[in-house]
Amino acid sequence: MTALRSLALVLLFALATPGIFFFSGPPAAAVEPSEMLKDPVLEARARDISSGLRCLVCQNQSIDESNAELARDLRVLVRTRLTAGDTNQQVVDYIVSRYGDFVLLKPPFKGITYALWFGPPILLALGLLGGAMFARRLRVRGKADRPTPLTPDEQARLKVIMEEGADK
């Protein structure tokens, strides 16, 4: 019963953590009113772009969600570039040229980012393989620890020995 309770607590915690919106609400945006653009179309574009850019301080939040000073500067930069007439892709390319692919929450699929794309599945597969080998080794070791059954000759001999011991 304790294992079942522990599993339930782990699941409840996982579902309630930010980023998994089952029990918790979506994260609040950190965009200040002074940063917002008057044009709602440009503001929507700015929000779309900033939701895909990583806060370089927090690293697990977009710049739209982060209260860090650098995230604020990046939000302002996005809005400045948009009001200057850049397209969404030009704004993203400009920020990536300054901070690298790490600033993207969804890094591109290219040679330098293969470790980001293939690393977690490979580590998971290696972990599962190691766990399977460990379980197999335990199962084989458990079979080796069990005594082999006595042959009919050994059983007869044991019976004789036990009868002799009972007579004394």
Same-domain pairing of 95 and 126 = no
Domain presence at residue 24: no
Same-domain pairing of 138 and 120 = yes
The CATH number assigned to the domain holding 85 equals: 1.10.8.640
Q: If you ran DSSP here, which 8-state letter would residue 63 be given?
A: T
Calculate the CA dihedral of residues 105, 109, 111, 117 and round it to 10 degrees. 70
Which of 56, 88, 107 is the last residue before a domain boundary?
107
Residue 109 is predicted with a pLDDT of 85
Residue 13 is predicted with a pLDDT of 64
- Do 62 and 105 touch, CB atoms closer than 8 A? yes
Residue 24 is predicted with a pLDDT of 47
Same-domain pairing of 99 and 126 = no
- Do 16 and 22 touch, CB atoms closer than 8 A? yes
Residue 25 is predicted with a pLDDT of 47
Same-domain pairing of 83 and 135 = no
Residue 21 is predicted with a pLDDT of 47
Distance CA(43)–CA(1), nearest Å, equals 52
Distance CA(47)–CA(72), nearest Å, equals 12
Q: How many domains in the chain?
A: 2
Residue with tokens 């990536």: 96
Domain presence at residue 37: yes
Q: What residues make up the domain containing 74?
A: 31-107
Residue 138 is predicted with a pLDDT of 85
Which residues have C-beta within 8 Å of that of residue 29, sequence separation ≥ 6? 47, 64, 65
Domain presence at residue 8: no
Q: Average pLDDT by consecutive 10-residue portion of the chain (168 residues)?
A: 63 58 51 73 89 86 87 91 92 92 86 84 96 89 75 92 79
Q: What's the whole-model pTM score?
A: 0.55
Residues in the chain: 168
**Alpha-carbon dihedral sign for residues 61, 62, 63, 66:** negative
Same-domain pairing of 50 and 102 = yes
Identify the CA nearest to 80 among candidates 46, 31, 54.
Answer: 46
Same-domain pairing of 95 and 39 = yes
Which tokens go with 84?
């200057």
- Do 92 and 49 touch, CB atoms closer than 8 A? yes
Domain presence at residue 22: no
Same-domain pairing of 119 and 160 = yes
Cα dist. 16→13, 61, 141, 166 in Å?
5, 17, 41, 69
Same-domain pairing of 96 and 122 = no
Residue 147 is predicted with a pLDDT of 76
Domain presence at residue 6: no
Domain presence at residue 25: no
Domain presence at residue 18: no
